[in-house]
Amino acid sequence: MRARQMSRSGPGSEALKGTVVPSDTTPGEAHVPDDSAPGDDPMPAHIEPCLASAAAKPPRGSSWSFEVEWEGYRLAVHIEPSREVRLLTRDGRDWTTRFPAIVAAAKQIVVDSAILDGEAVILDRSGKSDFLALQQALGGREGKDSAEFATLFAFDILYLNGQDLRHLPLSQRREILADAIDSAPPGILLSEDVIADGEAFYTLACKLGLEGIIAKRLDAPYRSGRGGEWLKIKCIQSETFAIVGYEPSVGYGGIGRLLLAAAKADGLVYVGGAGNGWTDAAGAALKTRLDARFVPRPPIATQRTGVRWVSPVLAAEIEFRGWTDDGKLRHATYKGLRDEADAAKILQLGEA
């Protein structure tokens, strides 16, 4: 068995460059192991996807491979024997018309039939998946708009040329997948994996501002649902920010969303908000403390309305998963208040 350098990698992480995986097939030739049944398996109409369970840190050992976690929409690409292509969501909804570039790419794959598992994404200029851009491209809930420039990062193959592949180990399915989509144009790319130290890969992914990584057991068959064979490890950051106001709510103790600011050299800068992380009781207690520091005008430069502004002397510890292009927190979660004396030093603010 020789080693083949993967060349169909997409953007997203420099950590994926130079990945080597085993292969004993000719590029462009989708090869199914000889001990598989010769093309007599009926093609499933829908397969519930294998889902990743959350984990605090990457697993160790050579039995795991690691991939970038793409932030988009999970799709199954069904290439029918008739050459018709269907794109199905996790729950079986038909989204074929919403991703024309992926459909066009799938029609050029040289196979008789196949089911690919992957993630539809739109990439930003740095090569990272941009979920907000994808949502905007798809438009409203009626599903009338399409993402014309979306790319499918394929990470598994479940069926090929009349043979169900789910019983095969992941390592073997990945070899078959790489060869099967070698003929695909850029609308479908291989989501490359690495067999390396998971902690190092995770650290690099977080430094690059990626959503996180996925760990997968190389010897595991494909099982629908959360069986523990796939793990997701999110990139979480934590910093302290000043609370400059809140949006009132009828629940969660009266706080719908905390508005936050970071201390910069020229003063406070609005960085977005956090809308979760507290119980009703904790929210009510926090609201009492914030109301005691009410101010009639915003302490930051903003045109927001419907906000109860407060003097920025309370600081919150916030977990988040990166920054947007316009300097706002992504997926921010409130973790608690810092001591006021420490907060004053951290934020370089005096009591108002």
d(CA 68, CA 71): 9
Angle formed at CA 128 by CA 237 and CA 111, multiple of 5 degrees: 130
The pair of structure tokens assigned to 57 is 């840190």
Whether 259 contacts 270, CB under 8 Å: yes
Average pLDDT per consecutive 10 residues, the chain (352 residues; last block may be shorter): 32 33 37 54 96 93 94 95 94 93 96 97 86 76 69 97 97 97 93 92 89 95 95 88 93 92 87 92 93 94 90 91 87 84 58 36
β-bridge mates for residue 212, sequence order: 234
Query: What's the confidence (pLDDT) of residue 5?
Result: 30
Phi/psi of residue 42, each to 5°?
A: -65, 145
Query: What's the confidence (pLDDT) of residue 263?
Result: 85
Q: Which CATH class is domain 46-232?
A: alpha beta
Q: Exposed/middle/buried for 326, CB within 10 Å: 0-12, 13-18, 19+?
A: exposed
Query: What's the confidence (pLDDT) of residue 4?
Result: 31
Nearest alpha-carbon partner for 184 in 4, 1, 10: 10
Query: What's the confidence (pLDDT) of residue 265?
Result: 80
Query: What's the confidence (pLDDT) of residue 78?
Result: 98
d(CA 279, CA 37): 55
Q: Which CATH code fits 237-347?
A: 2.40.50.140
The pair of structure tokens assigned to 126 is 């740095």
Domain chopping of the chain, boundaries: 46-232, 237-347
Angle formed at CA 11 by CA 273 and CA 102, multiple of 5 degrees: 95
For 152, the 3-state DSSP assignment is: strand
Query: What's the confidence (pLDDT) of residue 38?
Result: 52
